[in-house]
Structure 1
Amino acid sequence: MSAQISEIHPVVLELQGWRPAIERSVEELRAEVTDLRQHIQAPRSADAQAPDLALLKETAPPIRLSDLPPLL
């Protein structure tokens, strides 16, 4: 039993080292997502000059699956 614990011990220590790095990465991702949400929600003066999306959808021809090139 002692030999098995000795084998597992380095792996457990390595996994414990990952946690702070993963938590730091998750916090960075949260901050980036928050920034992106604020950027998307912020009113922009360019939006007033941009064409209406509904108008673009009406004028654009629909894309059919058969029109797309094969994936392979």
Structure 2
Amino acid sequence: MQPKRIGASLSVAAQITANAMASIATAGCKSVMCDRPGDEGAEQRGFAEMEAAAQAAGYSGMTPPGTAW
């Protein structure tokens, strides 16, 4: 994963994996956002799997795509 800094408190990256979530948290990212829908394709991770990985890494949760914060 190669994050790109957009501003002082915002970085973006290409699609991450559930296995990378702990490394992302260790790198100091305060939150993650999943903007991909679940069940997009057989090779894609579902939202529930990504949310579980985020919670295991210490994040409080993620907002599903298309919902208000």
TM-score using structure 2 length:
0.21
TM-score (norm 1): 0.21
Higher Rg: 1
More strand by share: 2
